[in-house]
Amino acid sequence: MRMDEFVDEARVIITNDQLTFHQRKHYLAALAENALPYPEISDEAADAMSKGIVDDLFEGNAPYRPRYILPDYELALRQGSEHLDLDAPTDLDEALNFLLILYTQVPSITGFPVFLGDIDSLLLPYTTDVSDADLRSKLRLFWLALDRILPDGFVHANIGPDDNRVLRTILDIERELLQIVPNLSLKVDPERTSDDVLMNAIETVFATAKPHFVNHTMMVDDLGPNYGVVSCYNSLKQGGGAHTLVRLNLKEAVLNHSGTSDDFLDRTLPRYAGFTADVMSARIRFLVEEARFFEHDFLAREGLVRLDRFSAMFGVYGLAEAVNLLMDHRGSGSRYGDGGEADELSYRIIGALSDFVETYDMPYCEGGGGHAFLHSQSGIDSDVEVTAGTRIPIGSEPETFQHIMTVAPHHQYFPAGVSDIFHIDETARDNPDAMVDMIRGAFATGMRDFTFNLDSNDFVRITGYLVRKSELARYSEGNERHSSTVFAAGSVANSHVTDRAVKRVLIREHSPRPPQ
């Protein structure tokens, strides 16, 4: 980048009245980082990036912190922090204060922490002598502070799978405050998570479009018991995280392919997957060997993150368009999501990618057994005419049962997370039992994550994060304190996320719950 270009871009950021001070500082830091040369990659990989086939999601030219960090907050609470000069907390007030301070020191690609921990299990030991009224009062102030101090929709907390008073209090506070932050996931275990807990969470979704619902059994099988769901449906190991997330645009890969579907699977797909892995490897080596994050950051020095718990995320998107293009080449009218041969091809593509990722040796990814994790990437604001991850294109979603049965077979391949959003109409409020059955049935069919929301409240789910419709309207008039609203405005314009097809939930028999 020439100096005059650098100065011009800096001036644009500084004079942008739609950005807050924090947002301007964040973009200025990214500008400085991108003035540095890119980590060394092959000419072929660079060409694939220039064509939009491989995309590093604007992580920056010189990665100096992992993309996603999941500190071991339980260890931090036990031992305190020498770096922060904080003793281990002894009561609820001290625990809340300790966590709030620590959160402000956890970096990520967004500039804010993407993971707040299993917040109910972290706080429960400190509530023994706390009344219900005091617990609610203290948690409410803590929840307010999270949204005001960490104003970013990618900040994410986990609750469950077991019922407890902290979990119930958090859901109650969510329904009162109606905040964007924190994003929230409920871990659901078929035996340990009761229908009452699910119903409580579903009523919260009606009000706030959160929490997500996570197949705890499936996650534990893939990642072990100490995992976390962060940012937008991204699942990783606690005490670790993801060095980087680089994604492969399957639509563009097909547009740069000539030949049959079998040729694509045998020749083109592994070629571009290799270029994606090349970019990932280069970025990881720079982070670990040159920026030396794991040698210098206090989170690593105090054992709150460990290199052997880290992996990387091999992202994929544009599956729907890729499959439909290959169907056109075949002369078939089948389309992704119709239950026909297009769907079968989609499973072959993702299965082949999974085989590649599981066998490709990736540096410093001991947390993944020496390999990256495959991830169904949920899209960004600049995506135009390409569908996120393995989702069915917006506006063409089939009825909910068929929707679930189409996408569920993909979920087994994505230990680092996969997202499908079900847009449910207002009748669900009168039939929440059907939603309980639908979530349990979806998990029984092999879904990893289940997310639904109603069209009637003030929240819009963009990819995995939330934004208020009212804040989107305000953004065009001036700056908005939630940094994620900046991305949301682009996604609404480019990806038409507000046009998702709304489906009804009628009676229990329409949910995919298997016979008991």
- At 426 the pLDDT is 85
- 449-470 residue pLDDT tens: 999 888 766 777 666 677 776 6
Strand 449-454 relative to strand 212-215: parallel, antiparallel, unpaired?
Answer: antiparallel
> HSE-up of 13 (CA within 13 Å, CB side)?
18
In which residue are the tokens 């449910």 written? 424
Which letter does DSSP use for residue 264 in this model?
I
Helices 400-411 and 432-444 cross at an angle (nearest 10°) of 30
> HSE-up of 161 (CA within 13 Å, CB side)?
20
- At 205 the pLDDT is 95
State which H helix or E strand residue 134 sits in: helix 132-149
- At 476 the pLDDT is 61
pTM value is: 0.91
Nearest Cα neighbor of 105 from 125, 86, 124 is 86
- At 419 the pLDDT is 85
- At 202 the pLDDT is 97
% of residues, the chain, pLDDT over 90: 80
- 128-160 residue pLDDT tens: 999 999 999 999 999 999 999 999 999 999 999
Which letter does DSSP use for residue 188 in this model?
E
Q: pLDDT at residue 54 above 60?
A: yes
Whether 127 and 165 have beta carbons less than 8 Å apart is answered as yes
Adjacent-strand bridge partners of 69: 241
- 363-389 residue pLDDT tens: 999 999 999 999 999 888 788 899 999
- 86-112 residue pLDDT tens: 999 999 999 999 999 999 999 999 999
CA angle 475, 476, 480 (to 5 degrees): 20
- At 233 the pLDDT is 85
- At 483 the pLDDT is 64
Q: How confident is the model at residue 279 (pLDDT cuts 50, 70, 90)?
A: very high
Residue 85 identity? D
- At 249 the pLDDT is 97
Q: What contacts 515, CB < 8 A, 6 or more positions away? A: none
- 14-34 residue pLDDT tens: 999 888 898 899 999 999 999
Both tokens assigned to 91: 């009561």
- At 182 the pLDDT is 96
Q: Looking at per-residue confidence, does 489 or 115 come out higher? A: 115
| Distance of alpha carbon 92 from alpha carbon 411, whole angstroms | 38
